[in-house]
Amino acid sequence: MSVAAAGGLLHLVVMVWFARRLGVTITGGYEWVLYASSTVGMWLLAAVPLYLLVRHRLVVPATLLTGFIVIDVRSEFAASVEDAHALYFGAWFVFLAIFLIGGLVEYGLRQVDSLRRMVSRRGNRH
């Protein structure tokens, strides 16, 4: 759990700094809502996949996180508010849903494989 929390905190610090550096904002004077929500979201985006990796050995969510971070880092070279970081930072819940769906698919496939192996072992005993 501490690995997930520490990874989430590191991700939060770097991504909030990056958003501030790029000037990610919203209209209407609700910038504080964006940053409050996204601060929690940035922590969850890293902590959840890392927890699933360490606790349940699910690699898909952490792999997706790594891929999205790589795409997001490319924003450094675009340096525009319309880049991938604005979407990653503002719509973090979409990415979290993608991670969770990926984890569920991996978990389901592992359960099917375990069931198949168990049935196969029972069949070999007779």
Provide block-wise average pLDDT over 10 residues at a time, the chain (126 residues).
Answer: 93 90 78 89 95 95 92 70 75 94 96 90 73
Q: By C-alpha distance, which of 60, 44, 51, 50 is closest to 104?
A: 60
Predicted pLDDT at 26: 74
DSSP 37-68: HHHHHHHHHHHHHHHHHHHH---HHHHHHHHH
Q: Using CA atoms, how far apart are residues 53 and 103, in angstroms rounded to an integer?
A: 9
Predicted pLDDT at 104: 96
CB 10 within 8 A of CB 46: yes
Give pTM, 2 decimals. 0.78
Q: By C-alpha distance, which of 77, 1, 74, 85 is closest to 41?
A: 85
